[in-house]
Structure 1
């Protein structure tokens, strides 16, 4: 099972995106665990994830999170702003899968 962590400023704006990603994964028959947290919880949650996607409004934190992601051995990227704005679960799930090599 692939584990995808989303992080945003407060952890709330990504909750709908989590639902859309889960719907898309279910449609495809992909087993995933997707959850969202606030930016301050992301470093500790990374050890439970395969991929971390951060909200576009937090792109300035990417360098900070990269060090921790490297320590725990996970992939990291910023969610595409257009996909984020459209709550495009398919596009964001596709990005997470491509980062993990799935």
Structure 2
């Protein structure tokens, strides 16, 4: 099972992508929990919860260092590929999630 948090400016622009990624994962039989939240909510959750991966929308890439420090060694923080994000390529984002998490094990 993969547990992923996605954060962006307000949490709305990533919501559509997150829905597509969840649907793609379900179609492929991959056990994935994925949720989109605002940056403010993301900052709170990173301190209180453990995830397998924190993904950032490209528009908040400048926050990676701060969130990486908050996550520490508990889980990686990665920026969603801008082209995949813009074109809503859920299959590419899902593949990146799996590779990022499996690469940490």
TM-score range, shorter chain: over 0.9
Deviation at 1:94, TM superposition (A): 1.0
* Runs (5+) with no aligned partner, structure 2: none
Matched position secondary structure for 1:4? strand
Partner of 1:37: 37
| Runs of 4+ in structure 1 over 3 Å off | none
- 1:1-102 to structure 2, matched below 5 A, reads 1-46=1-46, 47-70=49-72, 73-101=74-102
Deviation per CA, 1:54-81, whole angstroms, max 9, x where unpaired?
Answer: 000101101101101215x011100000
Deviation at 1:50, TM superposition (A): 1.1
Matched position secondary structure for 1:99? helix
* Runs (5+) with no aligned partner, structure 1: none
Query: Structure 1 CA distance, aligned partners of 2:65 and 2:27?
Result: 34
- Superposition RMSD on alpha carbons, in Å? 1.3
The answer (yes or no) to whether the contact 2:8–2:60 under 8 Å persists in 1 is: yes
Deviation at 1:43, TM superposition (A): 2.4
Q: How many residues align?
A: 101
TM-score by structure 2 length? 0.90
Deviation per CA, 1:23-58, whole angstroms, max 9, x where unpaired?
Answer: 110111001111000001112223242100000010
TM-score by structure 1 length? 0.92
